[in-house]
């Protein structure tokens, strides 16, 4: 399995390899001021585009080999789009519900808004497994980013219903912005014995403002008609240290069975 990290350096060393990275503190999320950092980011983005670093194509290629990680009979779904960010490492840890149990609720761990600091937003996710009778069992988590401090409330499907589809919400690599990558998840629930595709409820953890306003919904990913979500795997950007843009959790893959 190949691990991959994109480092978004604020100084020209990434581009020209002729200067040292500054250790000055990172500034806030505002994109209105064309600071030195913003100009550097614009130049870096232009160089990445020129080098053909298409985010979506690269992200797809970075998935670990499923045969080594999946539970027999399960399949993976993922939500990508124009705002997906190819950054961070896919963890080897895929958490699964006990056999016969499915995911019924979701919550996020996040770093509160930093104001003038380097934001990371969402750093991790937990999913609650439940039996078809609605009895809770294990909690799935996979890997979590280093800056998560607070948990949202659980966003829960109607009793006896389970998650079968989701859309990731995330930010793109907008020039001049302090990036946070994944910003939320919008998931759909249905009854396990229903043969209809219709959604019986949606769940979306509630984040405080301004985190709640960041990002855009990516493509809809849905389990096969006879499957529900039973597992998860996260992609995390580790603490990159001073001078780099930290992002917390960057991507999510769900497992269906
Ligand atoms: Ca950031």
Asked if residue 179 has pLDDT above 70, the reply is yes
Q: What is the pLDDT of residues 199-209, one digit of tens each?
A: 899 999 999 99
Q: How confident is the model at residue 218 (pLDDT cuts 50, 70, 90)?
A: very high
Q: What pLDDT does 98 receive?
A: 93
What is the domain-level CATH number for residue 209?
2.100.10.20
Measure 248 CA to ligand 1 centroid, in angstroms.
Answer: 8
Instruction: For residue 4, tell me if it sits in a domain.
Output: no
Max mean pLDDT range (67-71, 154-158, 177-181) = 154-158
| Nearest CA-CA partner of 222 in 250, 175, 187 | 187
**For residue 210, cis peptide bond before it (omega within 30 degrees of 0):** yes
Asked if residue 118 has pLDDT above 50, the reply is yes
Instruction: For residue 58, tell me if it sits in a domain.
Output: yes
Beta carbons within 8 Å of 144's beta carbon, 6+ residues apart:
109, 123, 124, 234, 236, 249
Which whole number is the average pLDDT over 100-128? 96
Measure 69 CA to ligand 1 centroid, in angstroms.
Answer: 30
DSSP for residue 34: -
| Contact present, 84 and 60 (Cβ < 8 Å) | no
Residue ranges making up the domain that contains 67: 13-256
Instruction: For residue 80, tell me if it sits in a domain.
Output: yes
Asked if residue 67 has pLDDT above 80, the reply is no
| Contact present, 180 and 168 (Cβ < 8 Å) | no
Q: How far, rounded to the nearest angstrom, does the alpha carbon of residue 44 sit from its chain's CA centroid?
A: 23
Asked if residue 220 has pLDDT above 70, the reply is yes
The residue among 65 and 5 whose pLDDT is bigger is: 65
The residue among 44 and 203 whose pLDDT is bigger is: 203
Measure 179 CA to ligand 1 centroid, in angstroms.
Answer: 4
The total domain count for the chain is 1
Measure 117 CA to ligand 1 centroid, in angstroms.
Answer: 8
Instruction: For residue 143, tell me if it sits in a domain.
Output: yes
Q: What pLDDT does 63 receive?
A: 53
Instruction: For residue 1, tell me if it sits in a domain.
Output: no
Cα separation values, 205 from 11, 30, 118, 150, 173, Å = 35, 25, 22, 12, 24
Measure 223 CA to ligand 1 centroid, in angstroms.
Answer: 32
């Amino acid at each position: 399995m190949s691990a991959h990290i994109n480092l978004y350096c604020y100084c020209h060393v990434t581009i020209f390899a002729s200067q040292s990275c500054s250790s000055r503190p990172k500034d806030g999320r505002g994109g209105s001021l064309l600071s030195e950092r913003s100009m550097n980011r614009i130049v870096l983005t232009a160089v990445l585009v020129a080098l053909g670093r298409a985010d979506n194509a690269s992200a797809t290629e970075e998935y670990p080999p499923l045969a080594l990680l999946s539970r027999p009979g399960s399949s993976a779904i993922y939500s990508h789009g124009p705002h997906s960010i190819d950054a961070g490492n896919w963890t080897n840890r895929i958490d699964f519900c006990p056999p016969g149990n499915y995911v019924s609720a979701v919550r996020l761990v996040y770093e509160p808004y930093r104001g003038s600091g380097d934001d990371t937003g969402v750093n991790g996710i937990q999913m609650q497994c439940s039996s078809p009778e609605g009895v809770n069992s294990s909690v799935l988590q996979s890997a979590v980013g280093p800056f998560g401090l607070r948990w949202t409330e659980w966003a829960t499907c109607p009793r006896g219903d389970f998650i079968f589809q989701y859309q990731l919400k995330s930010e793109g690599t907008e020039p001049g912005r302090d990036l946070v990558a994944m910003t939320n998840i919008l998931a759909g629930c249905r009854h396990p014995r229903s043969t209809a595709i219709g959604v019986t409820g949606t769940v979306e953890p509630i984040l405080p403002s301004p985190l709640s306003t960041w990002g855009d919904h990516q493509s809809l990913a849905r389990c096969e008609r006879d499957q529900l979500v039973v597992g998860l795997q996260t992609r995390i950007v580790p603490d990159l240290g001073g001078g780099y843009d930290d992002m917390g959790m960057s991507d999510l893959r769900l497992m269906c069975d």
